[in-house]
Amino acid sequence: MGCFSFIKVMMILFNMLIFLCGAALLAVGIWVSVDGPSFMKIFGPMSSTAMQFVNVGYFLIAAGAVLFALGFLGCYGAQTESKCALMTFFFILLLIFIAEVAAAVVALVYTTLAENFLTVVVVPNIKKEYGSQKDFTQVWNSTMEGLKCCGFTNYTDFEGSPYVMGSGTFPPYCCYDSVNRSLVEPCNSVNAHNMSVQGCFKQLLRDIRTNAVTVGGVAAGIGGLELAAMIVSMYLYCNLE
The reported pLDDT for the residue numbered 223 is 82
Give the whole-angstrom CA distance, residue 140 versus residue 149. Answer: 10
The reported pLDDT for the residue numbered 185 is 86
Strand residue runs (E) in the chain: 176-177, 182-183
Integer angstrom CA distances of residue 7 from 78, 138, 148, 184: 9, 49, 49, 62
The reported pLDDT for the residue numbered 241 is 67
The reported pLDDT for the residue numbered 163 is 92
Bridge partners of 176?
A: 183
- pLDDT mean values, one per 10 residues, the chain (241 residues): 79 87 83 64 45 59 86 88 88 88 74 71 86 83 85 89 91 87 87 87 74 72 84 85 67
The reported pLDDT for the residue numbered 102 is 83
What one-character-per-residue DSSP string does 34-73 give? H-HHHHHHHH---S--HHHHHHHHHHHHHHHHHHHHHHHH
The reported pLDDT for the residue numbered 175 is 92
Give the whole-angstrom CA distance, residue 150 versus residue 2. Answer: 60
> Which of the 8 DSSP states describes residue 173?
G
The reported pLDDT for the residue numbered 133 is 84
Over its C-alpha atoms, the chain yields an Rg (Å, rounded) of 23
